[in-house]
Chain A
C-alpha cells in the first residue's frame, strides 16, 4: 500500500520544559537555515512527489520558525507531498508565540488543523510544567483561529504533582468552554533524561497515585463524552468529523513517510527513526549521509500482532474482516485464546466481527500488549 501520510518534525523550541523528552533544541533558531536545507535534501531523496491525505507538522514548535522560514518549509514539503483533495494538514503551535499574522499565514498556506500545546488553564500548573504561556493566551489563539475557520485541537496534561481531581475538572471545563473541535489528554509521565525524572528521583516531585490517575482519566472520558466529544483513542477525543486522521494512520498500522530529526517513518514494513539529536541529524544530512538511527523490521506475523495491539487503542476496536484484509492474518488464529480470555475477564467485548476494549480494558490496555505480541 502506498503511504498517504507524512510527518515533518520541527525541533525548535524557545526552551525545554521539565517533562519533555522529545527531539527538540531550545533557543537554537540559528540552526533554522541549515535545518531547511537538510529537510529539502531529505525530501529530495523521495525522488518523486508523494501526494498525501494527511500531513502533520509536529515538534518541537513548528511556529517557532520565522513566518518566512515557515513558508519556505511549507513550500518545499508541499512540493514533495502535495495535498490530495480533502487532505488534512495539522500544525502544532505554542500559544505563547503565535500571533494573528502567523495564523493567517497558516490558513493561507492551506493548513486545516491547529494543534495547540495548551496543557492547562491553571497558571500554577503551567508554571509547574515550565510552560511559557498564560491561560488567557490559549483563549485568544483559539478564538482567533476559529474566526479564521481553522479547527483547533487542545492538548491537556493531567496527574501533575499535587493536582487534585477538582483542579482537573476545572481544566476540562475551561477547555470545553473555548469550543475546540478536538481534545487530547495526556497523563504526565516521568521520562528518563528529563528534569522531572531527576526531580522525582530526588523526591522533589511526587507523581499522582494510581487511583487518582484512574479517577482523572475516567473524569476526562465522562466529561468530554457528555460534552459531545467522541472518545476515539486512548488519549483522543473529537467532535464528529474532527478526528485526527493523521494519527489514526499510526494506530491502524498504515504506513507513513517522515522527515526531520527524530522523525519515524514506516515504509515497506520497516520502521525507521531518524537520529534524535538535531545537530547530528543536520551534520549527517548535510554530509549526504543517512539520518536513520534505528531500524525496526518485523516479520509479517510480528507486524500483524503489532497492528492488533496498537489497533486496540482505538475505541472502534479491531474488525476481523479489516484485520484479515490488512494483515492477511486471521485474528482468531493469531490470538483467539488470549482474546477469549480477555473477553472473559471483562476487558474486551466481541460481537463476532469486532473486538473492542471495555472501560476496564481501556484502563489497563498496556498490560494486554505483552500477551498479544
Chain B
C-alpha cells in the first residue's frame, strides 16, 4: 500500500547519538502492537503513548499522528502498518518500546500477520461500550496464533455508557481472557495510559535473538518516498545491520546497499545500526515498492547468511474489477496512473483487457473490497480520468470437459455452459458478531445465500457470534451493507478464505437491443439466475435513457432468455418556442446533451451511462421481500 512519505527528518542535534555506544540489550526492548476493532480508539491510544514517552509533545501532536495518510485520516482507519520507536524510563531503566501499528481491515490480513510476527506482545483494545466485535476477535486470534502476550485493555472507560464488567465478561467468554488482568484506560483523556505502558514492559517478553548471529530481519512493511524510493520497515530477528552494508532480500533474490537506516520517532531518525530485537527502517535506493516484498527476509549479501523466515507468501488478490476510460483517448493516461499507483502499492495489480462494450481497459486485482475502494479513490483523486468501473467479481476455477483447467478473473472469460465440467468458486468463513436480537435476520440472510452454518456462540447474554461459510462472491457484493442494515449498524463481520468449492454456477449474460454486453455478464448461482437477471435488467431499464427507438433488454443463460424488459421509445421531445434569441441558447443546450452522450458508452446504437455497468450488483432480494 502506498502512503504519503513521513515528513523529512527533523534536524539532528549535533551531539553524538546514543546508538554509537553499542547495541541495545534486547532485555530492554519491547515490541508490541495494538489490535482493535475499527473505531475502538487504537490511534488515539497510540497518540497518548507517544506523548507519555515524550516521543512527541502535545504541542506537535497532530491528531492521530500515526495515520499520516490522508485517506486513512478521512476514514479513521489504519491501512498502513507503522512502527514508532519510543524511549521510556520505567523503574529507573530506559526501555525502547517499538509500537508496530497494524492495518485494521481484513483485506490486509497478510500484512497484519507479518506485523504481528515482529512483535512479542499485543495490546488488545476493546471499546468500553461497543464491546467485543468481529475484528476484535479476528485480530486477537491472530495475535494468539502468533504466540503474542496479550495485554487486554478496555478503552474509553470514561464514557457515560461504559459497560466495563460486561465487556470483561465478553472478553473472557470469547477469548478466555482472565478478567483480573484486564486494564482500563481512556486514550482520549490519557487516564491510566501509563498503566498500559507499565503492563507492556512487565508482561510482554523481551525479544529473543542474538546480535552477533548472522543478520536475519523481517520486512513487515514499506512505503514509497518520492525522493528516496522504497523505505523498507524491518524487525531485526538476529544479528546487526549497519549503514553502508550490502544486504540481500532472500525471497526477491536481490541485493542492495543500505544507504540509510534508522527508526521512526516518529519522524525518520537516522541510526548507525539496528540490532537484534530492534525495529526500524532501511533505505536502499529501491525505485519501486514492487521490489520490496512484505514478509521477505533480509540478510547480508556476503558472508554467512541466515535462513529465510517462515510465513512468506505473495499477496493474494481476492476481488477483481474492470477499469475503462470513458474516453478511449485516455487509455495511456490510465495505464500511467495505474502504473504509478502500483509502484506505491504492489499488492494491487492490473493487466490490459478489452471488452466489446467498453473497449480497451484494465482488469485490476485487489486484496479485498476496501482495498478496491481505496485504489479507486486514489485514482480519482490523483488522475483526472473519467472511469467506467465494472462490478467487482472473484476468481473462479473452471475445469473444462477437455480436461483443461482455467482460472478466470472476469465473467466475460467464462466459457460457454456446454464446455464446463466443474465450476469452482472461493468460499470464505465469515464471523459475524452482533446483538442477539438480530441473529434471526443474519441467519436468514446467510441461508438465502446458501451459506453453511458452522457455529454460534454467545459472547454475553446480549451478544453473539455466528460463523458461516459463504461464497466470497456473495460476501463481496453486498454482505457488509446487508449486515449493517439488518443489525442497524451494530453487527460486524470478518472473513478468511477457506478454499475453492464446486458450485452450481452459470454465466448470466445481458443483451441490450439483442447484443450481448460482455461487461455486464455476471457469474451467479443457477438458482439465483432468474431473480438476478430480472433485477439487473430492471435496474438497467432505469439507468439507460430512452432512445428514439425501443430498446429491448434481456437476461440470458446461453441462448435461453430468462428475463426481458423494454425501454420504450421517446414519445415527445420538442420545445415549441424557437425564435431569434432562442437559437443560440437551444443549440448550446443540445451541445451539452451531446457532451453528455459522449460520456456514455455507445454500444450498437444504444447509449449506456457509466453507472449502468454497476446495475449487475442488483441481487433482486429486495423485491422478494
A residues at B contact (CB < 8 Å)? 7, 58, 185-187, 189, 210-211, 213-214, 217, 234-235, 247, 250-251, 256, 258, 262-266, 271, 273, 294, 296, 306, 309-310, 313, 341-342, 345, 347, 362-371, 373
Shortest CB-to-CB span from B598 to chain A, Å, is 10
Closest B residue, CB atoms, query A253 = B583
Complex Cα spacing A313 to B590, Å: 14
B579 at the interface (CB under 8 A from A): yes
Q: Which residues of B contact A263 (CB under 8 A)?
A: 580-581
B584 at the interface (CB under 8 A from A): yes
**Which applies to chain B's interface (DSSP): helix, strand, loop or mixed?**
loop
Most buried by B among A185, A265, A373: A373
Task: Give 8 CB contacts A-B under 8 Å.
Answer: A186-B576, A217-B572, A250-B580, A264-B584, A345-B549, A366-B590, A369-B586, A370-B593
Complex Cα spacing A32 to B579, Å: 25
Complex Cα spacing A49 to B527, Å: 81
Complex Cα spacing A247 to B578, Å: 9
B377 at the interface (CB under 8 A from A): no
Whether B584 and A367, one on each chain, are in contact in the complex, defined by CB atoms closer than 8 angstroms, is: no
Whether B574 and A363, one on each chain, are in contact in the complex, defined by CB atoms closer than 8 angstroms, is: yes
Q: Which residues of B contact A341 (CB under 8 A)?
A: 605
Whether A210 and B579, one on each chain, are in contact in the complex, defined by CB atoms closer than 8 angstroms, is: no
B383 at the interface (CB under 8 A from A): no
Q: Give me 17 other A-B pairs in contact (C-beta within 8 A), A364-B571, A364-B574 excluded.
A: A7-B580, A185-B576, A189-B577, A258-B580, A264-B580, A296-B584, A341-B605, A345-B549, A347-B548, A363-B570, A364-B548, A364-B570, A364-B572, A366-B573, A369-B586, A371-B594, A373-B590
Complex Cα spacing A187 to B579, Å: 15
Complex Cα spacing A189 to B549, Å: 25
Whether A310 and B574, one on each chain, are in contact in the complex, defined by CB atoms closer than 8 angstroms, is: no
Q: Which residues of B contact A313 (CB under 8 A)?
A: 578
Q: Mark B587-617, 1 if CB is under 8 A from A, else 0.
A: 1101101100100000001000000000000
Closest B residue, CB atoms, query A369 = B590
Shortest CB-to-CB span from B364 to chain A, Å, is 33
Whether B573 and A365, one on each chain, are in contact in the complex, defined by CB atoms closer than 8 angstroms, is: yes
Q: Assuming A345-B549, A370-B593, is B574 touching A362 (CB within 8 A)?
A: yes
Whether B576 and A235, one on each chain, are in contact in the complex, defined by CB atoms closer than 8 angstroms, is: yes
Q: Which residue of A189, A210, A256, A266 contacts B572 across the interface (Cβ within 8 Å)?
A: A210
Complex Cα spacing A258 to B580, Å: 9
Q: Which residue of A213, A247, A367 contacts B579 across the interface (Cβ within 8 Å)?
A: A247
Closest A residue, CB atoms, query B594 = A370
Whether B572 and A235, one on each chain, are in contact in the complex, defined by CB atoms closer than 8 angstroms, is: no
Q: Which residues of B contact A309 (CB under 8 A)?
A: 587, 590
Complex Cα spacing A1 to B358, Å: 47
Q: Which residues of B contact A345 (CB under 8 A)?
A: 548-549
Q: Which residues of B contact A310 (CB under 8 A)?
A: 578, 583, 587
Shortest CB-to-CB span from B490 to chain A, Å, is 37
B575 at the interface (CB under 8 A from A): yes
Q: Which residues of B contact A271 (CB under 8 A)?
A: 583-584
Whether A189 and B578, one on each chain, are in contact in the complex, defined by CB atoms closer than 8 angstroms, is: no
Whether B591 and A256, one on each chain, are in contact in the complex, defined by CB atoms closer than 8 angstroms, is: no
Q: Mark B536-570, 1 if CB is under 8 A from A, else 0.
A: 00000000000011000000000000000000001
Whether B574 and A250, one on each chain, are in contact in the complex, defined by CB atoms closer than 8 angstroms, is: no
Complex Cα spacing A227 to B591, Å: 38
Most buried by A among B574, B577, B586, B588: B574
Q: Which residues of B contact A347 (CB under 8 A)?
A: 548
Complex Cα spacing A345 to B570, Å: 12
Q: Assuming A234-B574, A234-B578, A250-B579, is B584 touching A370 (CB within 8 A)?
A: no
Whether A211 and B583, one on each chain, are in contact in the complex, defined by CB atoms closer than 8 angstroms, is: no
Complex Cα spacing A309 to B584, Å: 12
Complex Cα spacing A309 to B578, Å: 12
Q: Assuming A251-B578, A263-B581, is B571 touching A370 (CB within 8 A)?
A: no
Closest B residue, CB atoms, query A23 = B581
Whether A264 and B581, one on each chain, are in contact in the complex, defined by CB atoms closer than 8 angstroms, is: yes
Q: Which residue of B572, B575, B583, B587 contacts A214 across the interface (Cβ within 8 Å)?
A: B572
Complex Cα spacing A235 to B578, Å: 9
Q: Which residues of A contact B580 (CB under 8 A)?
A: 7, 250, 256, 258, 263-266
Complex Cα spacing A364 to B584, Å: 19
Complex Cα spacing A210 to B546, Å: 13
Q: Which residues of A contact B590 (CB under 8 A)?
A: 309, 366, 369-370, 373
Shortest CB-to-CB span from B228 to chain A, Å, is 52
Whether B573 and A363, one on each chain, are in contact in the complex, defined by CB atoms closer than 8 angstroms, is: yes
Whether A273 and B581, one on each chain, are in contact in the complex, defined by CB atoms closer than 8 angstroms, is: yes
Whether B576 and A370, one on each chain, are in contact in the complex, defined by CB atoms closer than 8 angstroms, is: no
Q: Assuming A189-B576, A210-B572, A365-B574, is B581 touching A262 (CB within 8 A)?
A: yes
Shortest CB-to-CB span from B292 to chain A, Å, is 51
Most buried by B among A214, A234, A369: A369
Complex Cα spacing A151 to B578, Å: 22
Whether B581 and A210, one on each chain, are in contact in the complex, defined by CB atoms closer than 8 angstroms, is: no
Closest B residue, CB atoms, query A186 = B576
Closest B residue, CB atoms, query A213 = B572
Whether B578 and A250, one on each chain, are in contact in the complex, defined by CB atoms closer than 8 angstroms, is: yes
Whether A370 and B591, one on each chain, are in contact in the complex, defined by CB atoms closer than 8 angstroms, is: yes
Q: Which residues of B contact A185 (CB under 8 A)?
A: 576
Shortest CB-to-CB span from B325 to chain A, Å, is 22
Whether B581 and A363, one on each chain, are in contact in the complex, defined by CB atoms closer than 8 angstroms, is: no
Q: Which residue of B548, B572, B584, B591 contacts A373 across the interface (Cβ within 8 Å)?
A: B591
Q: Which residues of A contact B588 (CB under 8 A)?
A: 296
Q: Which residues of B contact A210 (CB under 8 A)?
A: 571-572
Q: Which residues of B contact A371 (CB under 8 A)?
A: 594
Complex Cα spacing A347 to B575, Å: 17
Complex Cα spacing A273 to B583, Å: 11
Q: Which residues of A contact B548 (CB under 8 A)?
A: 342, 345, 347, 364, 367-368
Q: Which residues of A contact B605 (CB under 8 A)?
A: 341
Complex Cα spacing A164 to B266, Å: 75
Complex Cα spacing A214 to B576, Å: 12
Complex Cα spacing A186 to B570, Å: 20
Shortest CB-to-CB span from A369 to chain B, Å, is 4
Closest B residue, CB atoms, query A306 = B587
Shortest CB-to-CB span from B29 to chain A, Å, is 67
The 10 tightest CB contacts between A and B, nearest first, are: A264-B581, A369-B590, A370-B594, A214-B572, A186-B576, A235-B576, A364-B573, A296-B584, A370-B593, A264-B580
Q: Assuming A271-B583, A363-B571, is B591 touching A187 (CB within 8 A)?
A: no
Whether B576 and A373, one on each chain, are in contact in the complex, defined by CB atoms closer than 8 angstroms, is: no
Shortest CB-to-CB span from A140 to chain B, Å, is 26
Whether A235 and B581, one on each chain, are in contact in the complex, defined by CB atoms closer than 8 angstroms, is: no
Q: Assuming A214-B571, A363-B571, A366-B590, is B584 touching A186 (CB within 8 A)?
A: no
Closest A residue, CB atoms, query B596 = A370
Complex Cα spacing A313 to B586, Å: 13
Shortest CB-to-CB span from A291 to chain B, Å, is 13
Closest B residue, CB atoms, query A216 = B572
Whether B575 and A366, one on each chain, are in contact in the complex, defined by CB atoms closer than 8 angstroms, is: yes
Whether B574 and A366, one on each chain, are in contact in the complex, defined by CB atoms closer than 8 angstroms, is: yes
Complex Cα spacing A296 to B578, Å: 17
Shortest CB-to-CB span from A104 to chain B, Å, is 28
Whether B576 and A234, one on each chain, are in contact in the complex, defined by CB atoms closer than 8 angstroms, is: yes
Closest B residue, CB atoms, query A5 = B580
Whether B584 and A273, one on each chain, are in contact in the complex, defined by CB atoms closer than 8 angstroms, is: yes
Shortest CB-to-CB span from B261 to chain A, Å, is 62
Residues facing A in B276-309 (CB within 8 A) are: none
Closest A residue, CB atoms, query B590 = A369
Shortest CB-to-CB span from A177 to chain B, Å, is 23
